[in-house]
């Protein structure tokens, strides 16, 4: 039905009406006092979501841009980077590090699993000179959440820097940057932040900034020093996506009204409702272990004799709900349902009822 | 007056209502057939504006991002890059090239002037191994348009690659990429394209792609090979700023209805109207030579005894018109009035009348 699509993919996610209307406001000059006031408020809101005292840089880019910013401000040719890989987005860290000439070590586990801290410790023990360890908090390609708190602690014990992809966890799953000692944390706009794609965020602590100072060819577009210098004057080095920043201001105000813990609880209860409903339907979950199952995205195996592309097609055509396919090796093997951002209990019930009818129809 | 601001800065520029409303549409999934259809249409529209048969990459970034893409896909450490500098944006090319480890040669002229092709030829003759020559088509920091056609021809004769910043010229001033033999051309969304900031564009011809293949550490976020591979499948490597692409689709449709030559004529006649009006007021233009004066932005010297900050303040507070200050050394020495994008003859007359009252008031 025209204009009826409901997004249950891991981004873009549903956007509240007031945020869409804020987006449609005529842009104002980005070097004006008015915009600086908005930027300052947005900055404070982002710090609140990141649970950090450090600056949060606002980039005009996708989440991958913020990942490139992390590697592009830290890595010199030949630096040893350990990448913890539990899915496509963990693998992306390795690709980006290699694109900077890094000496990449990969610790990869079968997709659907999380990194075991013991395995990480073994690799840290066996390999000298690991400068950076990258990891994904919430791996959307599989629907697994890594035990970031434990992993980061180990990384610190071994003197390396922790760089964490919180793109689909920030504003959905608890990820207190400073408390957990995360050195660099990145995120993106079209996920828990409930605004359309186009902005990405990065916070780096003092340890990370120290390492940045040793970077021979820091990335120009995402340069941390330039961002910091400009942020101190409530501005950005390049023209920002003004309308998206104004929309983010509105979205952060909604998030503050809800409360951070309440947002996490809502994601948890929606994901649990979805998982229980799927199991009641007789469907098999790709991630069975409740301890590592994501509260943002749930991967589901199709029932025997029913194909993933058919499920996705009927869900979209008949019920106006878009769910995601698996990626790469998991394509057509799983489908993924997002409960990320502006999703209510009603939406989850609706999706379950629609999926039930879809599968019954396809089985006939 | 609330919501009354009219932007006469070199970006963001005024945005048509239908474009703002398109921006406010709920995002759709970026891996959907619907979005691919929009992307294909936008791609064709961009090729039409770029006047090229080559692909135009659409980045989620500011215009500077597209400049970084050019350097980041071509330059290896030690490569010799000649940067033609007639203002801040010409200087930016040099900074970006240096950030990649390039051996940068600068040809700089006093701000307010354009590059003389004879001067370029001299530098090309005197220096071996120049791999790339960067230039700015329309330098918004001064209001000067470079003779890109002549410059590019020389660059080609000497076997180097021409990389042109068309950020404020595309969709405003004629810049036929293929006809002039430009190898790499970049632009941005919040200028002649009449949409808010957040997208940047780059087209590279076959010669440029050949050089790209020799790039040892191509930029990951802006990687040309990845963009090309995805564009061939009507998609993008990373999540694009969906709403801005939908807005661009609407803006390009408006541009097509107008016609490319008509758009150039409109910019020319508006700029000429503005320049004549300013001179009639007794004001001195920073760029007196009509042959190099920009049709997108006009730099003006304040009358004796009147300060630039006061002019800008009164223009904004009393007439809701935002004009730009000079940059760096030109700060408070000139002010700059944009006639770029969605600006009509009425807007120019309004600005002249408002400026007249402003200056009369300040002189009292």
Residues 198-237 of A with CB under 8 A from B: 198, 216-221, 223, 237
Mind telling me how many Å the CA of B274 is from chain A's nearest CA?
Answer: 21
Nearest to B9 among A9, A15, A29 (CB): A29
Q: A297-301 and A284-285 as β-strands: parallel, antiparallel, unpaired?
A: antiparallel
With a CB cutoff of 8 Å and minimum separation 6, the contacts of B159 are none
Mind telling me how many Å the CA of B323 is from chain A's nearest CA?
Answer: 10
What is the predicted pLDDT for the residue at B184?
A: 99
Q: How far apart are CA B161 and CA B320, in angstroms?
A: 44
Cα A99 to Cα A78, A205, A243, A293, B304: the distances in Å are 11, 24, 32, 31, 55
Secondary structure (3-state) at B242 = helix
Q: Which of B70, B48, B38 is nearest to B240 (CA)?
A: B38
Q: A137: which DSSP letter? A: S
Radius of gyration over every alpha carbon of chain B, rounded to an integer in angstroms: 20
Mind telling me how many Å the CA of B283 is from chain A's nearest CA?
Answer: 25
Q: Which residue of A has its CA nearest to B77?
A: A217
With a CB cutoff of 8 Å and minimum separation 6, the contacts of A10 are A140, A168, A191, A296, A297, A324, A336, A338, A340
Q: How far apart are CA A350 and CA B328, in angstroms?
A: 57
What is the predicted pLDDT for the residue at B83?
A: 98
What is the predicted pLDDT for the residue at A226?
A: 98
CA B261 to chain centre: 18
Cα B33 to Cα A1, A309, A321, B308, B327: the distances in Å are 15, 14, 15, 51, 44
- Dihedral sign (CA A302, A298, A67, B54): positive
Whether pTM exceeds 0.95? yes
Cβ of B64 within 8 Å of Cβ of A238? The answer is yes
Residues of A in Cβ contact (< 8 Å) with B9: 29, 31
Q: How far apart are CA A150 and CA A124, in angstroms?
A: 14
With a CB cutoff of 8 Å and minimum separation 6, the contacts of A278 are A285, A298, A300, A352, A355
- CB-defined contacts A:B, below 8 A: 177
Mind telling me how many Å the CA of B122 is from chain A's nearest CA?
Answer: 30
Radius of gyration over every alpha carbon of chain A, rounded to an integer in angstroms: 20
Does any CB of chain B come closer than 8 Å to the CB of residue A20? yes
Q: How far apart are the first and last CA of chain A?
A: 24
With a CB cutoff of 8 Å and minimum separation 6, the contacts of A211 are A74, A131, A132, A161
Residues of B in Cβ contact (< 8 Å) with A221: 61, 64-65, 68, 221
pLDDT digits (tens, 9 = 90+) for A116-133: 999 999 999 999 999 999
Does any CB of chain A come closer than 8 Å to the CB of residue B177? no
Q: How far apart are CA B121 and CA B135, in angstroms?
A: 14
pLDDT of B364 over the 90 cut: no
CA B22 to chain centre: 23
Residues 22-51 of A with CB under 8 A from B: 23-32
Residues 235-274 of A with CB under 8 A from B: 237-244
Residues of A in Cβ contact (< 8 Å) with B21: 24
Which ranges in chain A belong to alpha helices (H)?
17-23, 33-50, 63-72, 88-99, 117-126, 148-157, 177-180, 206-212, 224-231, 242-258, 260-280, 308-319, 345-363
The rounded percent of chain A whose pLDDT value lies above 90 is 99
pLDDT digits (tens, 9 = 90+) for B297-346: 999 999 999 999 999 999 999 999 999 999 999 999 999 999 999 999 99
Q: How far apart are CA A249 and CA B326, in angstroms?
A: 29
Mean pLDDT of chain B, nearest integer: 97
Q: Phi first, then psi: what are they for B59, rounded to 5°? A: -105, 150
Q: How far apart are CA A65 and CA B61, in angstroms?
A: 9
CB B178 within 8 A of CB B52: yes
Banded model confidence at residue B38, pLDDT cuts 50, 70, 90? very high
Cβ of A239 within 8 Å of Cβ of B188? The answer is yes
Secondary structure (3-state) at A52 = coil
Which ranges in B6-144 belong to alpha helices (H)?
17-23, 33-50, 63-72, 88-99, 117-126
Cβ of A239 within 8 Å of Cβ of B30? The answer is no
CA B290 to chain centre: 20
Cβ of B29 within 8 Å of Cβ of A322? The answer is yes
pLDDT of A201 over the 90 cut: yes
Q: How far apart are CA A75 and CA A217, in angstroms?
A: 9
Structure tokens at A9: 């993919």
Cβ of B29 within 8 Å of Cβ of A21? The answer is no
Query: In what helix (H) or strand (E) does residue B311 lie, and over which residues does it extend?
Result: helix B308-319
pLDDT digits (tens, 9 = 90+) for A326-356: 999 999 999 999 999 999 999 999 999 999 9
Mind telling me how many Å the CA of B310 is from chain A's nearest CA?
Answer: 15
CB B335 within 8 A of CB B323: yes
Banded model confidence at residue A8, pLDDT cuts 50, 70, 90? very high
Mutate one of B191, B241, B341 to test the A interface: name it (highest A CB count within 10 A).
B241
Cβ of B12 within 8 Å of Cβ of A29? The answer is yes
Residues of A in Cβ contact (< 8 Å) with B241: 62, 196-198, 241, 244
Residue whose entry in the numeric block shows the structure tokens 């590019």: B152
With a CB cutoff of 8 Å and minimum separation 6, the contacts of B208 are B74, B161, B183, B184
Mean pLDDT of chain A, nearest integer: 97
Banded model confidence at residue B174, pLDDT cuts 50, 70, 90? very high
Mind telling me how many Å the CA of B91 is from chain A's nearest CA?
Answer: 14
What value does the mean pLDDT take over residues B134-143? 98
Cα A169 to Cα A44, A145, A190, B243: the distances in Å are 19, 9, 11, 23
Mind telling me how many Å the CA of A124 is from chain B's nearest CA?
Answer: 27
Helix axes B260-280, B345-363, angle to 10 degrees: 20
What value does the mean pLDDT take over residues B181-198? 97
Mind telling me how many Å the CA of A196 is from chain B's nearest CA?
Answer: 6
Residues 102-161 of A with CB under 8 A from B: none
pLDDT digits (tens, 9 = 90+) for B144-154: 999 999 999 99
Q: Phi first, then psi: what are they for A339, rounded to 5°? A: -130, 55
Query: Mind spelling out the 3-state secondary structure of B154-195?
Result: HHHHCCCEEEEECCCCCCCCCCCHHHHCCCEEEEECCCCCCC
Residue whose entry in the numeric block shows the structure tokens 């055509």: A317
Residues 70-109 of A with CB under 8 A from B: 71, 77, 95-96, 99-101
Residues of A in Cβ contact (< 8 Å) with B30: 12, 197
Mutate one of A104, A134, A201, A239 to test the B interface: name it (highest B CB count within 10 A).
A239
Cβ of B239 within 8 Å of Cβ of A190? The answer is yes
Q: How far apart are CA A303 and CA A359, in angstroms?
A: 8
pLDDT of B53 over the 90 cut: yes
Residues of A in Cβ contact (< 8 Å) with B242: 12, 190, 196-197
pLDDT digits (tens, 9 = 90+) for A68-91: 999 999 999 999 999 999 999 999
Banded model confidence at residue A244, pLDDT cuts 50, 70, 90? very high
Cβ of B243 within 8 Å of Cβ of A196? The answer is yes
pLDDT of A364 over the 90 cut: no
Residues of B in Cβ contact (< 8 Å) with A189: none
What value does the mean pLDDT take over residues B250-254? 98
Mind telling me how many Å the CA of A109 is from chain B's nearest CA?
Answer: 24
Q: How far apart are CA A298 and CA B349, in angstroms?
A: 58
Residue whose entry in the numeric block shows the structure tokens 């790209």: B212
With a CB cutoff of 8 Å and minimum separation 6, the contacts of B279 are B285
Cβ of B197 within 8 Å of Cβ of A3? The answer is no
Residues of A in Cβ contact (< 8 Å) with B229: none
Residues of B in Cβ contact (< 8 Å) with A27: 7, 12, 15, 190, 196-197
Q: How far apart are the first and last CA of chain B?
A: 24
Structure tokens at B358: 């402003």
CB B230 within 8 A of CB B236: yes
CB B251 within 8 A of CB B19: yes
Q: Which of B164, B206, B216 is nearest to B187 (CA)?
A: B164
Nearest to B95 among A68, A217, A220 (CB): A220
CB A31 within 8 A of CB A346: no
Cβ of A197 within 8 Å of Cβ of B240? The answer is yes
ipTM of the shown complex: 0.97
Cβ of B62 within 8 Å of Cβ of A240? The answer is yes
Residues of A in Cβ contact (< 8 Å) with B223: 99
Rounded to 5°, the CA angle A111-A112-A113 comes to 90
């Amino acid at each position: 039905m025209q204009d009826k699509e409901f997004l249950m993919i891991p981004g873009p996610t549903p956007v509240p009406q007031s945020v869409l209307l804020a987006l449609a406001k005529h842009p104002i000059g980005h070097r004006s006092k008015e915009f600086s006031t908005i930027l300052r408020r947005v900055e404070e809101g982002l710090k609140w979501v990141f649970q950090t005292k450090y600056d949060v840089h606002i980039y005009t880019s996708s989440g991958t841009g913020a990942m490139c910013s992390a590697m592009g401000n830290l890595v010199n040719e030949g630096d040893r980077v350990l990448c913890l890989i539990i899915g496509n987005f963990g693998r992306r860290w390795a690709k980006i590090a290699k694109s900077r000439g890094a000496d990449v070590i990969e610790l990869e586990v079968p997709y659907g699993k999380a990194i075991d801290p013991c395995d990480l410790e073994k690799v840290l023990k066996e390999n000298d000179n690991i400068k950076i360890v990258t990891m994904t908090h919430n791996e959307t390609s599989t629907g697994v959440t890594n035990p970031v708190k434990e992993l980061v602690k180990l990384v610190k014990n071994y003197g390396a820097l922790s760089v964490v992809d919180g793109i689909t966890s920030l504003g959905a799953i608890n990820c207190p940057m400073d408390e957990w000692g995360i050195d660099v944390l990145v995120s993106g706009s079209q996920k828990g932040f409930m605004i359309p794609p186009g902005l990405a965020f990065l916070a780096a602590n003092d340890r990370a900034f120290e390492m940045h100072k040793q970077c021979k060819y820091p990335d120009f577009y995402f340069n941390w020093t330039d961002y910091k210098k400009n942020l101190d004057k409530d501005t950005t080095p390049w023209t920002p996506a003004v309308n998206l920043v104004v929309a983010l201001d509105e979205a952060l105000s909604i998030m503050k009204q809800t409360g951070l813990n309440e947002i996490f609880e809502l994601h948890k209860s929606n994901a649990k409702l979805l998982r229980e409903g799927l199991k009641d339907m007789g469907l098999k979950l790709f991630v069975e272990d409740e301890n590592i199952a994501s509260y943002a995205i749930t991967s589901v195996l199709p029932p025997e004799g029913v194909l993933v592309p058919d499920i996705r097609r009927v869900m979209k055509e008949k019920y106006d709900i878009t769910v995601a396919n698996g990626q790469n090796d998991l394509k057509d093997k799983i489908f993924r349902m997002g409960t990320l951002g502006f999703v209510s209990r009603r939406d989850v019930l609706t999706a379950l009822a629609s999926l039930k009818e879809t599968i019954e129809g396809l089985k006939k």
